[in-house]
Structure 1
Amino acid sequence: MSKQGVNRIESLRRRWIAYQLSADVVLALGIGLLTGGLGFYLMALPVIWGLIIFAVALTVLVFTHKPWNVHNSDIAGYLSKEYPDLQESTDLLLQPAVHMNTLQLLARSQAKVALDGLKVSHAYFAKRFKFAVLLLLGAVVLVWVVGKVIPHHHTGVFWSGDKESAKVIGPSEKVLPQIDGVELIVNPPAYTGKGKRTQDRFNLTAEEGAVVHWSIKTNIVIKKAYLIFNDKERIALRNMGEGTEWSASRMIDKPGFYQVSIDGKLSDLYQMQVVKDGPPVIHVKVPKQYTYIDAGEVQQVNISAALNDDYGIANALIIATVAKGRGEGVKFKEYKLNFNTTFGDRKAQYDVQKLIRLPALNMEPGDELYFYVQAQDTHQQQSRTDVFTVAIQDTAELLSMDGVLSGANLKPEFFRSERQIIIDAETLLKEKDTISVEKFNARSNDLGVDQKLLRLRYGKFLGEEDETVEGPKGADNLASPEDFSNASKILKEYTDDHDKADDAQFFEPAVKAQLKATLTEMWKAELQLRLYKPQAALPFAYKALRLLKDLQQKSRSFVAKTSYNSPPLKPEKRLSGELDKIIQPANRQDIKAPADNQLVLKNAVGVLEILKLKPLLATNDTRTLQLANQRLSEIASMQPGAYLPALGAMRRILSLQKISLQDVNTVERAIQKTLSAVKITPKAAESSTDMGLSKSYYKNLKQVNN
């Protein structure tokens, strides 16, 4: 081997590996920056997630490309392909000269000379690296744009959580100059299962029912300090040491805002967000809303449900009611059934199941089971599902002849035929042990043929094609010269012309769909009978019969008998002729227009528009804005996150300081958000202001022209 040529190829190989590793690092850095930055600004995720994604992406990219698997022979092949001066002999430099012939040695020496004077470009090696740099620059620009457009308020930069001593890093708050520091200790309710947490900010987010403890330190000795909640409630801070340490506690059960008052000086408005605990959410997967158990099916029902809650499920059970009997003799019995799951750990999500065997509840054919699932969370909140129904088919009633002999029955012989198939199948099963296998199979096949014939009779009502074998056609009916170019006759002769099931208009769509379902069950019953399995065919036959009887009941119509019951007559009043008591009925009612709760805010909008042109407040305008400030304060106490900045801007306007156009726009946008659209009511057409002068003018002008 040529040592100098091998060293040059090895140097190019190291250059290739360096470029590939650099491209993977830059590409992973772009992916980590993009995902971490968007997660930080859009979903308030800590920055550490971006570093984790960078490490994972770098590992995946490096082990996917595996740049160390590139060998000297690959570099030699690339050089031979890209540089003609090497005469495709670069790979000879990597082989020992002992095994070469004279021609190979000559080509090897020429390749060595050409390689020594060759300048290899970096463009091919840096192709992936350039693409990775462009992706990184695009990620930087996108994250910068998102950071400028979307405001971000995060509770943590590198880490977030409910640690006891966690310090919250986020946007700075405006505090009074007398305050040296603050510590808020939030104690969530016991039902949440969370521990207490601390923060060094006034804006707080707490669970409903949490107890918050304020500890405020001042840099000077003060006399009095208060916490003012929603401009209504005032709590005095207790002096904990020589006038520089003050504390107070309060339970947070609704959102709002508060201020800190120190010796009469008020701070900015701080918001209180409350995280409410919703009731449990129950989703029943199986069974369906109404379940029908036909004859021959297993009399059991499997209940599967998913339970979800914010802070955990404490208990869940099934409330079941069994209805037995009919009419006035119906009886009900209630059962409380537990799931096969323990709720001691109080997790937030459970997948529960329960198998109910209906005979264990003393249910018989014709009985119905009504049940619903009820769940309770750790906050003693309950929720329940809709009622589900499970009914067992009463075969005795299904096989009865009630209603078949009535005048409202449609085609009773069809119903009797399906009923007869079921009776014959059950008789065959009873005689199975007394007859031979061949006879049993023959009778089962005969029942399948009867089921097929019945299915075909019903199929005619849906326009289905009859399953008859078409005989051979006679002589050509198109030989007559009169039929030349007769398209309709040609199509009729050489095409399969029959009805379509979708075009059958004998029944309404609902009836047609039920008839199709009946035919499907008959198909299944026929299949089992042809397979010599009458026991397996009974459920399908029973379901087909039930659908037919239900269709029979739907075809009936009932018109209730009506009559007129006149009021009793008074004999002493008859034929007296007294009409003074008969008067015209009159109903008078004073309807007052409802008070407009938004009138104050509407008037404030007009004042704000004037302030945009002339930033001076008149006395009447000040009163209007004060009333709007009270209304805005009520709205901000319910939704502090949306209206608290506008309330602060309104108070700066009322303080008669320098009125800022930005504050005016902030308040106006918040008020416009609260105002609802005006309902347009009918009204009479307004007459023109000319009092009919234009009409008189045209009338006189017409007379003059005539």
Structure 2
Amino acid sequence: MSREFRFDTWLRPARRRAAGEVMLLGSPLVLVLAGLGWAVVGGVLAAGLLLTSGTALGWVAIRRAGRLDRDWLVRRLNAREVQLEDSAGLVFAEGDLAPLERVQSGRIAERIEAIDPVSLADDWPKRGILMAWALGAVALAGIAYWQSESSAPPPPAPATQATDATLGPPRLTGQRVRIVPTAYTGLPARVSDSLDIRAPAGSRIEWTFAFTPQPSAAALQLIGGQRLPLERTDEGWSGSLRLDMPALYRITAQGMRESQPAHRLEPIPDEPPQVRVIEPASGLVTMQPGQRSWRVVFEASDDYAVDRLARLTVTTAIGEGENVRFTESSRTVTGMGEPTRRRFVIELPLASFGLQPGSDLVVQLTVADTRDPDPQVVRGPGVILRWSVPEPQQAEGLDLMAKQAMPAYFRSQRQVIIDTEALIKQRDRLSADEFLVRSDTIGVDQRLLRLRYGQFVGMEAEETPRPPLPTSDKDKPAEPEHYDGDGHDHGAEPESPVFGDLGNITAEYGHVHDESEAATLLDPETRKLLKAALDAMWEAELNLRSGKPEAALPFENEALGYIKQVQQATRIYLPRIGSQQPPIDMTRRLTGKREGIVSGGARLTPFAIEDAVPATAWRALSTTNEIDLAGLESWVRSNSPRIRDPLAVLAAIDALRSRPASRALREKLRGELWVVLTRPPAQVRRRDDGGALGRRYSEGLR
């Protein structure tokens, strides 16, 4: 007989009985704790208490069963059977036995085999188990009764208009409003005695009213809207409505003489989530030498709850100029923390993105709230990790005038090509008009790019209007368009013109808008390439504006090829531009002529009211004139987003409609309209006269 087999066989029944005893005695306590959590907070706390207390009870049961070891088994056998001669320990001994001990162990083992292992376990504590479950059942029944009493709606509260009269027209004697927010908010239902309701948008509003005497019909009348009939129940007159739009309502009943005041229905809109960057502190971070990973921490907050899962968008920009390659990827990240404020911690291994000097890594987080349906999705701010390009060596002499890096203008021809190729692929899915508009839009982008490039070869902007050529002497202006002091450099008048000096004809009689140095920024070969690129851009623009992107694509690629060759130019020299003031015309000094010096002067533009409806009503309320309340109410409803409290204005309009001659109600509506009126722009203020000293000085000058 093996020691291991005998040991496990004899201990297993006793250990199961001990663990079961602990579980049966402690289970009622676990259920009572879970019931208390459900009654106080809800199912979430009940599940948490059930899991925690159940785990603790299981741990206690395991510890209780673990106390039954080999020593306990030996003591129980020796105490139960006298015929074992207190030698049961020899059967389960761990070490080697002496010859006499082995003989005694064999004799005792034969006697032990005749004993049933189940008989060694303790008896079930039936009385204790019954008492524990009885007490648990009583506690659970009490909790259930308490929860039913607390969740039951209270009786309608006495209304402010309640009287002791039992005869006559119906009067409102009781009221109760139960507000049930939507499930995604996580807010519990509540009961309010006030008829002015402010609750989350989408909540279900349930009214219960008591009338004395009972009317034949009752309803809720939304001012300017629908009529909601009330149903007769055991508790009173009940009705419900989903709160989506702000409105005013009034309680009406059949035979009710007095008009009830208007009450507010104001939904609280669900705000979109907010995303901010916790780490790093700056939106642009420079990559450090030897850096292997990048840690970014976002925090998202919402008025109710932020979705636990968010989408991280990672964009890499590798390369320079037209050779920049953009790659975008996304992944799902999990937030930590409370539902209303979650943190998203991201560790990005930089080796997997293939960054190079001059590259950018942009990270953005897109989060959503838990609104159901149509959750609100917000894309947070981007954080940039930049691998800086090493600074070039310092140059001397004429090299200081050289611009080593290409300007930002040379960056968008490739994007024009990408847009054109995408438009060609979408031709079958677009209508003819939409296709033409999209093609024309790309043509405009090509034109703007061509004009930017043209600045480097002295080309003027095409938007500058040119005056028509005169057809006779009568059409010539009396004053020349360009005069001294107009801001252009006309140069000094030559002392003696030289006949045949063609080089000075333009400078003497013409008017040059571009600079000679600015028009020759590039060397002749680079200038030739850039002009070829401009010609190709012109052809591409012509086809794009005509709705022919397929014909424009070859010219776009040709222009891109020329631009790449321009990028490979070793130097681009910039002009030496200093502070050059126009020459002073000595003939105009002390003459009093102001032509071309002072403009017409500043003029005050009268302020025009865009919508005069509230202003007209505000002025009419100060008199006894009639007011178009229907038109004013329509204006308030259509312009409610720009009004701080539109329901207050509508309530004042409704009160004045019932009593148009009331001076107090007219003043109240006038006060509400005052905050609605459009404020005029800043006025021109009179300059300070300097006080008594300034006035005395001014009088002395006179």
* TM-score interval, normalised by the smaller of the two chains: 0.3 to 0.5
Query: Structure 1 length as normaliser, TM-score?
Result: 0.41
Question: Using CA pairs below 8 Å that are at least 6 residues apart, which structure has the higher relative contact order?
Answer: 1
Query: Structure 2 length as normaliser, TM-score?
Result: 0.41
